């Protein structure tokens, strides 16, 4: 087998894994969009915030310690404990539910019935707000996140591919693990929304607010639930990306990676998010591999967007999106 092809196959596999991570972030977007028509730009910052909170809780950091020290001239930083990951995750989930409640109560309750683009801009404001709060609360230095996920090269794949192609593929254990988690998450979400009472209520709300209200569904509760779910997905994405590259500001930029995924897959479709993620992940890695060296590299920043842009001109609703019908 020619060498280039083998390299391309490795790039392809890595692209698939990266695509899964993009899809994980995109899932959070789809959930909120389906249930409330809000395109939540803050999803990436929520992942950052969740990861920061997780690290902070596990390391026993005092929240807002920098601000407190600045105002009162004290010098406190740590409670002095180290909690196991599971406790940290539970506390973080509670924090994310609280956050969901506050977002609903203070922001989107007042914006019901506004145009989608106004809601979108409100979420940009929310993203700025959360980013600032997260940084003041936990400090903005780069933190290491370790919840005990396997990391490093997968030796089994390395050896078995070496036997076949005479060249060992480099696949990170973490990526494999993330793929598994994403698969479980998607199956769980589909089961939840298809078979549970609350899931059905959620789909009813997505279909028609007023009709759902008239059959006795509590809109506020559903919205808080959806934002909590999105917060949970953000936490999972935050753990994956945080373990991979440390918890830092750039984590919030994964939202920007997920946007073209959504445009490609359609804003309203969970399978669309997965397929879109895979296409983008593979596409940008292969493009960088094949064309990148010719134009100076670093094409990953824009390839996904340009691909989605060209795609949208031909199919504005995305691959799996519902057809947009407009009436005067």
Partner 1 sequence: MFYREAGDFKTSYVDDGQTFPIKFDRYRYYFVLFVAFAMVPLLINDYWVNAIFLPFLIYSIAAIGLNILVGYCGQVSLGTGGFMAVGAYACYKFMTGLDIWIGGVQYALPPINIFFSVILAGLVTAVVGVLFGLPSLRIKGFYLAVATLAAQFFLVWLFNKWAWAYNYSASGQINAPEREIFGVAITGPNTEAWASYLFCLVIAAITAVIARNLTRGASGRKWMAIRDMDIAAEIIGVNPLKAKLSAFAVSSFYIGIAGALFFAVYLGAVEVGEAFGIQKSFIVLFMVIIGGLGSIFGSFAGAAFLVLLPVLLKLMLADSTDTITGFSTVMSWIFLLAFAAAVVMLVINVIRTRSLIAGSGVGWIFASIAAFMAYALTIGGMGWPTDIVAHLQLVIVGALIIIFLVAEPHGIAQLWRVAKEKLRLWPFPH
Note whether 94 binds partner 1 by CB under 8 A: no
Which are the contacts of 307, defined by CB distance < 8 A and separation ≥ 6? 260, 264, 280, 283, 284
Note whether 316 binds partner 1 by CB under 8 A: yes
- Residue that has been written with the tokens 């959806």 in this structure: 226
Note whether 128 binds partner 1 by CB under 8 A: yes
Note whether 294 binds partner 1 by CB under 8 A: no
Q: Considering only CA atoms, give the Rg of the chain.
A: 21
Q: Which residues of 165-187 are buried (b: 16+ CB within 10 A; e: fewer)?
A: beebbebbbbbbbbbebbeebbe
Note whether 121 binds partner 1 by CB under 8 A: yes
140-159 positions binding partner 1, by CB under 8 A: 140
Under DSSP, the state recorded for 250 is G
- C-alpha distances in Å from residue 294, one per residue of 51, 123, 244, 297, 305: 37, 38, 29, 7, 20
6-35 positions binding partner 1, by CB under 8 A: none
Under DSSP, the state recorded for 255 is H
Interaction mask 41-70, partner 1, x per CB under 8 A: -------------------------xx--x
Dihedral Cα 234, 126, 273, 117, nearest 10 deg: 170
Stretch that binds partner 1, among 90-98, 112-120, 182-190, 194-202 (CB under 8 A): 112-120
Note whether 309 binds partner 1 by CB under 8 A: yes
Nearer to partner 1, 133 or 286 (CB): 133
Q: Which residues bind partner 1 (CB under 8 A)?
A: 39, 66-67, 70-71, 107, 110-111, 114, 116-118, 120-122, 124-133, 135-136, 140, 256, 259-260, 262-263, 295-296, 298-299, 301-302, 305-306, 308-309, 312-313, 316, 326-328
């Amino acid at each position: 087998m020619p060498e280039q092809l083998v390299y391309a196959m490795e790039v392809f596999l890595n692209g698939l894994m990266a695509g899964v991570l993009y899809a994980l972030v995109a899932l959070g977007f789809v959930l909120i969009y389906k249930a409330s028509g809000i395109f939540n730009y803050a999803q990436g910052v929520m992942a950052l915030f969740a990861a920061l909170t997780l690290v902070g809780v596990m390391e026993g950091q005092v929240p807002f310690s920098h601000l407190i020290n600045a105002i009162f001239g004290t010098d406190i930083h740590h409670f002095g404990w180290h909690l196991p990951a599971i406790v940290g995750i539970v506390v973080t989930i509670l924090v994310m539910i609280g956050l969901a409640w506050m977002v609903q109560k203070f922001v989107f309750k007042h914006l019901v019935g506004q145009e989608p683009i106004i809601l979108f801009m409100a979420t940009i404001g929310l993203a700025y707000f959360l980013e600032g709060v997260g940084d003041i609360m936990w400090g903005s230095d780069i933190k290491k996140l370790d919840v005990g996920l396997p990391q490093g090269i997968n030796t089994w794949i390395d050896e078995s591919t070496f036997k076949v192609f005479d060249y060992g593929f480099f696949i990170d254990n973490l990526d494999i693990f993330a793929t598994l988690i994403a698969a479980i998450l998607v199956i769980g979400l589909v089961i939840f929304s298809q078979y549970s009472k609350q899931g059905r209520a959620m789909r009813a709300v997505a279909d028609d607010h007023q009709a759902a209200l008239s059959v006795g569904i509590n809109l506020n509760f559903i919205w808080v639930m959806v934002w909590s779910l999105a917060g949970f997905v953000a936490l999972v994405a935050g753990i994956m990306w945080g373990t991979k590259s440390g918890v830092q500001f750039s984590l919030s930029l994964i939202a920007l990676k997920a946007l073209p995924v959504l445009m490609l897959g359609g804003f309203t479709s969970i399978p669309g998010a997965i397929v879109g993620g895979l296409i983008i992940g593979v596409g940008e890695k292969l493009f960088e591999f094949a064309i990148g060296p010719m134009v100076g590299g670093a094409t990953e920043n824009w390839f996904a967007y340009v691909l989605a842009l060209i795609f949208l001109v031909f199919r504005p609703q995305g691959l799996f999106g519902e057809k947009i019908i407009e009436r005067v």
